[in-house]
Amino acid sequence: MATISLEQEINPWEAQAARFDFAARKLNLDEGLWRVLRYPSREIIVHFPVAMDDGRIEMFTGFRVLHSQARGPGKGGIRFAPDVSLDEVRALASWMTWKCAVVNIPFGGAKGGVICDPRKMSQGELERVTRRYTCEIIEFIGPEKDVPAPDMGTNEQTMAWIMDTYSMHMRQTVTSVVTGKPLTIGGSRGRREATGRGISIVCDEALKHLNIARDGCRVIIQGFGNVGSNAARLMSDKGYKIIGIAEYDGGLYNPNGIDVCALSDYRQRNGSVLGFKGAEAYDSNDLLIADCDILIPAATENVITSRNADQIRARIICEGANGPTTAVADEILADKRIFVIPDILANAGGVTASYFEWVQDRQGYFWKEAEVNQRLESIIAESFDDVVRYSEAHDVNNRIAAYMLAIDRVAFNIKQRGIYA
C-alpha cells in the first residue's frame, strides 16, 4: 500500500471508501453501480440559531446524510459532539447501508449530527438545539423516508423530543419517525441492551468457529458507555472474564476478572470508573495492546491504527464501535492472523433492534423482551455465518467479506429496481 499520512489514515470517509473500493473490485461490480454506491444520495448541512440560558444567541451547524434508499428508508443515529464533521457523518451513513444489508433488514444507511458539546449544555439548551435541528431537516425524515436513532451524545430523551417535534408539525402522533425512544412512547423492550447483546452473540459464534472455550475467556473492553457496559455485563454472565476496561480518562485491569455489576454501580455513583477498588489503574492505550483473548473497541473511531496494530495481542477483535480500525491497520492485523469481527456485523444488534422497534410502532403491537432477544440472536448468528462463509468462499478477511456481501445485496436491489430517468 502507498505511504499515507496519519491524517489520511484516520479520515473516516477515506477509510470507508478504501474498504468499499477493494470489496467492489473483488465483486467485479459494474462500473455504473460502483459510482451509485460509492457516494451518498443526499447531504444536508444546516446552520441554525438557538437561544442559550444566559440570553446569548448561539449558531449551531448540523448534518444529515442519506447514503442509500435502495433497500428501504434511511436509518441511522444522530450524534451530538464538538468534533462532528461532514466526512464523519457521510462515512457513518455509508457504514449503516452496509450494516443493514449484512443483517438483511429493509433499511438503507443515513446519519446525522450537530456540532456541540452536550456535556457543557443544560437540559433546556439541549432540548432547544434538538427541536430546532429537527425542524431544519423535518422534510427529509419520516417513517418511510429516513428514521433517526440515538448515537454519541444523544439518548432516549433526545429521541422523544424529535418524535414530539415531528408529530407537532404533522398534527398527529408519529412514533415510528425515530427509534431508541422511551418505552412509554413507542420504544422497544431490549433496545437499550441490543448493541451489547449483539456483540456477545458474535463473540459466542466466533469462539465456536475457532474452537475456543468460553469459560474464562479473557476480554478487554475499550469504552464503558451503553455498548461497552452492556456487552461486559452480558458476557460476564455467560462466563467470560472481563479483565480490562479502558475509558477516555483512564483504565482498569484485573487479571482475575472485574466485577462488572459493582463497576457499573460505582460509575453510576461517581461518573467515572477511576478509583474503583476492584481493579488496578491502568493506562487506556496500554490496555489496547495487553494480552487477552478478545479485544472489544466499543467507543470511537480510529483507536487501532498503523501505530499500535502490530502490538495487539488479542486473538479476536470484535468491533463494538463504528470504524475503530483503520484500513492500514487491517493489513497488519491480517498478517498477524487476528480474527476480526467487523463493525458492520459486530455492532449491528442496535440497528436490528431499531428495526424491531420501527416494526412494532407501525403495527401498534409490542413484543415481550424475550421475543426481541430471541429474534435478535437468530438474525445476528445467521449473519455471522453468512459473513464467515463468504470469507471462506472468496478467500478474503471477514471485513471485506462483510462489505462484499452487503454491496452484493444492495447492488442486486438497485438492478431489480432499475435506474429512474
Helices (H), 11-48: 12-26, 31-38
C-alpha cell at 141: 425524515
Detail the DSSP E strand segments found in 69-115: 74-81, 108-115
Between CA 108 and CA 25 the distance in angstroms is: 22
Between CA 190 and CA 372 the distance in angstroms is: 6
Strands 108-115, 74-81: parallel, antiparallel or unpaired by DSSP?
parallel
Given the residues 75, 99, 111, 241, the one annotated as active site: 111
DSSP 71: S
Between CA 170 and CA 134 the distance in angstroms is: 13
Between CA 240 and CA 201 the distance in angstroms is: 12
DSSP 3-state percent helix, strand, coil across the chain (nearest 5)? 50, 15, 35
What are the residues whose beta carbons fall under 8 Å from the beta carbon of 365, sequence distance 6 or more? none
C-alpha cell at 311: 502490538
Q: How far apart are the first and last CA of the chain?
A: 39
Q: Would you mind telling me the total number of residues written for the chain in this entry?
A: 421
Q: Which of 47, 43, 159, 174 is nearest to 111 (CA)?
A: 43
Question: Is 238 among the catalytic positions?
Answer: no
What are the residues whose beta carbons fall under 8 Å from the beta carbon of 357, sequence distance 6 or more? 179, 180, 181, 186, 187, 188, 191
Alpha carbon dihedral 197, 203, 204, 206, in 10-degree steps, equals 150
Which residues are known to be catalytic?
Answer: 111
